[in-house]
Chains A and B, each alone.
Chain A
Amino acid sequence: EAGVAQSPRYKIIEKRQSVAFWCNPISGHATLYWYQQILGQGPKLLIQFQNNGVVDDSQLPKDRFSAERLKGVDSTLKIQPAKLEDSAVYLCASSLDLGGLTDTQYFGPGTRLTVL
C-alpha cells in the first residue's frame, strides 16, 4: 500500500515570496492533516480536513497561510507571503474515518522549507 506522498521535498525561497506544498494521502483515508515542525520541536497542527471540509484550522495563520482539499483527496498548503519564521518542515498526515473514533495518523516524508 502506498504511503502519504508529498512534494516538493525541499524548497528554498526569499522572504515575501509565495510557496505551495502538495499532499496525496493514503488511498481511502478521509481525514487529512497538515502539521508544521520547527527545528527542535514536535509537530504542531495547522489544519485538519474531513473529506473536503475543514474540521479544525484554529492554529492556521490565516493572514498568510491557506489550504484546500477540493475533491476530498489531494491537498495543497500555500504560504503567501513567507516570513523567516516559516522555515520548518511541513508534514502531511492522513487517517481513516472510523465514524467518530480516533484512528492512527500516517505521515508523509515532509517538505523542508527554508526562507532566506
Chain B
Amino acid sequence: AQKVTQAQTEISVVEKEDVTLDCVYETRDTTYYLFWYKQPPSGELVFLIRRNSFDEQNEISGRYSWNFQKSTSSFNFTITASQVVDSAVYFCALSRYGGSQGNLIFGKGTKLSVKP
C-alpha cells in the first residue's frame, strides 16, 4: 500500500529563518513520482515540484530546495530565508508511474506560520 507521512503538524518560525518540512513515504513500486503542493489560506493547491523515483538529484529553485533520498524514503523540502507569504499548508504527495494510475496519495500536511 502507498502512504505518505508528514510528522510535523505545525511549524512556526520568524521571518528570515530557514525551515525544513519532512516527508516520508511508503510504496512497493519501483518507479513512482513525488510532489510538493502548497495550499495558502485561499484554499487552492499550488504545484511546487515533481520528482520521479529514478532521479535523486536534489534541486534548488530560488529560496526553495528539495532533498530526495530513496534509501530513507524521504523527500524533504526546505525554504531558505522564509517570508510571511510562505505561510500555508504544505502537502507532500506520491503517485504511481503511469497515466491511469496517476492518483495522488497525500500526507496530512504541515501548517507553516511565518511571523514578521
Contacts and interface: CB of A to CB of B under 8 A. Distances in A.
Partners in one complex: yes
Interface of A: 31, 33, 35, 40-45, 48, 50, 55-56, 89, 91, 93, 95, 97-110, 112
Interface in B87-116: 91, 93, 95-104, 106-109
Contacts of A112: 43
Interface residues of B, number: 27
Contact of A50 (B37, B47, B95, B100): B100
Given A40-B108, A42-B109, A109 B43 contact: yes
Given A55-B100, A109-B44, A104 B35 contact: yes
B16 to A, nearest CB: 29
Contacts of A44: 106
8 closest residue pairs by CB, A with B: A42-B106, A107-B45, A102-B102, A109-B44, A45-B103, A110-B43, A100-B99, A55-B100
Of A40, A106, A107, A112, most buried by chain B (CB within 10 Å of CB) is A107
Given A105-B104, A106-B47, 18 more contacts: A31-B102, A40-B108, A42-B4, A42-B91, A42-B108, A44-B106, A48-B103, A50-B99, A97-B99, A99-B99, A100-B99, A102-B102, A104-B35, A104-B50, A105-B102, A107-B46, A107-B47, A109-B44
B104 A43 contact: yes
B96 A102 contact: yes
Interface of B: 4, 33, 35, 37, 42-47, 50, 91, 93, 95-104, 106-109
Nearest to A101: B99
